[in-house]
Each structure stands twice: as structure tokens, then as C-alpha cells.
Amino acid sequence: MSTPEAVSRLFAGLLPDLLGIEIIETTPERVRGRLPVRANLCTTGGTLHGGAFMALADTLGAVGAVLNLPAGARTTTIESKTNFLGAAAAGSTVVAEATAVHRGRTTSVWQTAIRSEAGKLLALVTQTQLVIPGGG
């Protein structure tokens, strides 16, 4: 799962695919993606639902965590905090960048900035990923 194309194949038919999340860059230090804001992802007010913001961030942070796992290990999110700072209207696209804050033996921490295409910060998400060792 080291390239955006490999991630897309892995996510085929799963929530990130159903939401329309596009992974555009994958490195051990940073994962970038975007999400077109479709009407069916919005609140009744026509803006992107908070859960969609969170799913985008969780997806990017998890990809980053996976890129840093030792052989045979897996990961799961154990904590996530979101600050909502702005809205994204239906018909727009949001862009997101998850960066590694901490990459340790038992946890990694990722911070994802979600912005409008114009660069306005819309949400800031910090998540902690547990490293689950392989074997037994």
C-alpha cells in the first residue's frame, strides 16, 4: 500500500471509495487526499457533514500509520479530535494533508488539515493510531 494507486485498489468498495476520497500522495511522513463535496455527503444546510470531514482525516491518518508499520503489524484508531473551523459547500472540493506528529513503536499521531481549494482551513483533526504487533 505504498502508492496512491495501491491505496485506491485496497479501498475499492469500502467507505473511503464510497465517499469518493481520492488519495493523491503517500509517504511515511505525509499523506494527501481530496474529497468532492457531493450533495449526499452534506447536511440539510448544503454543507459537508462533520462525519465526512472526520472520515477523510481518519482515512489519511490510517494510511500514514500503515506506511510506518513493522512487518506483520496492523493499526487501529484509538483517539480522534476534530476542530471544525469552516464549511464546505456542495459542489466544492476539500483537500487534506495528514502529517506525522509522532511515529513510535506502540502508537503514531497524525494531524490532518482539511482546507478549501482556495486554502481556507476548514477542519483540523488529530488522531492517535495504535500499533498492533503481528503474530499469535
Structural domain containing residue 75:
4-132
Phi, psi of 44 (to 5 degrees): -65, -20
Using CA atoms, how far apart are residues 88 and 1, in angstroms rounded to an integer? 29
Domain CATH code at residue 19: 3.10.129.10
Within 10 Å of residue 109's Cβ, how many Cβ atoms? 18
Instruction: Express each pLDDT in 126-135 by its tens digit.
Output: 999 999 998 6
Residues 22-68 pLDDT 10s: 999 999 999 999 999 999 999 999 999 999 999 999 999 999 999 99
Total number of domains in the chain: 1
